[in-house]
Amino acid sequence: MKLDAAVDRRTEWFVPGWGPPAFRVLVGLLFLPYTGMVLAYTIMGAMLADDIHWDRAGAIVLIYFLALGIGAHALDALGSTGVKPWGSMLSPSLLWCLALSSVLIAYGIGLYYIVTATPLLAPIAMAEGFFLFAYNLEWFNGTFHTDAWFALSWGALPVLAGYVIQTNRLSPEVLLVAMAMGLLSLVEIKASRPYKALKRRIGPMLLESARQQEEEIRRFEMILQSLSAAVILLSLGLLMWRVQNSTF
């Protein structure tokens, strides 16, 4: 399963350097640090509610893990270019199966809460469903495959979803937090794109140029590692604070 270095994503910093190839590919497909950021956004939104419904907090995390962590990234691997960054181990049929099954389960869970408790979640679910396919499959000539739409769909909206599933309403404070997390997601994608470009750059180059490229790659990796860790730790801190101050 040898890949051209220009498209092989198994060398990414978030892919384990150990274990069987299938394990490494499946873990890599989840983009765990970036998925973790989105899950953290949903937790932040949920923790802003006055009264926490812990089953709903767990549900929204599970929904986004299934729909984004598995579904969106499987669709991203399919893409619109025919490039297979994870090799032949993940066939198009397997990727479609992973994407559709995980998304259907996620929306089944979401529909339960929409019908029983939080109908305001419905427009957010519809918007995220649209971006799930339009962004990752680059529909409409890639119109929605931009940094701004990424920041909205995987930064701001998860915060709103986490709050709405708790309260069935919006508030000024959650809108401000959603804007802030959208901007952090914009930083993430602005660092991720040049990082991927550097990783994919191939061809002969002078030793000095190669060293400079390696330094740039390490710098972008540090930015992405620090950003994802900070967001995840912030959400865990908020979660722990609410748990300690909640009555069950």
Which pLDDT tens digit goes with each residue over 38-48?
999 999 999 99
Average pLDDT over residues 241-248: 83
> What pLDDT is attached to residue 205?
53
- Asked whether the predicted pLDDT for residue 1 surpasses 50, the reply is no
Distance, CA of 159 to CA of 178 (rounded, Å): 5
Q: Which residues touch 198 (CB under 8 Å, ≥6 apart)?
A: 213, 216, 217, 220
The predicted structure's pLDDT at residue 5: 45
- Distance in angstroms (rounded) separating the CA atoms of residues 152 and 57: 21
Is it the case that residue 7 has pLDDT exceeding 90? no
Determine what percent of the chain falls in helix, strand and coil, rounding each to the nearest 5: 75, 0, 25
**Which amino acid, one-letter code, is at 179?**
M
DSSP 69: I
Q: Which pLDDT belongs to residue 83?
A: 52
pLDDT attached to residue 19: 84
**Phi and psi at residue 189, to the nearest 5°:** -70, -30
In percent, the amount of the chain with pLDDT more than 70 equals 88
Lowest mean pLDDT, pick from 35-39, 151-155, 216-220 = 216-220
pLDDT band for 88, please (50, 70, 90 cuts): low
- What's the burial of 88, exposed, middle or buried (CB within 10 Å: 0-12/13-18/19+)? exposed
Rounded average pLDDT over 149-161: 97
pLDDT for 201:
67
- Backbone φ, ψ for residue 24 (5° rounding): -60, -40
| Joined tokens for residue 138 | 């680059």
pLDDT of residue 168 exceeding 50 = yes
Tens of pLDDT, residues 97-144: 999 999 999 999 999 999 999 999 999 999 999 999 999 998 998 899
DSSP for residue 85: T
Distance of CA 70 to the CA centre of its chain: 9
pLDDT at 85: 65
pLDDT digits (tens, 9 = 90+) for 72-86: 999 988 875 555 567
pLDDT the model gives residue 127: 97
The pLDDT of residue 135: 93
pLDDT, position 199: 76
What's the rounded Cα separation, in Å, for the pair 159 and 90?
31
pLDDT confidence of residue 80: 53
Higher pLDDT: 20 or 33? It is 33
Predicted confidence at residue 184, as pLDDT, reads 96
Domain boundaries, the chain: 53-201
From the list 227, 229, 224, 201, the residue with the least C-alpha distance to 214 is 201
Residue 212: predicted pLDDT: 79
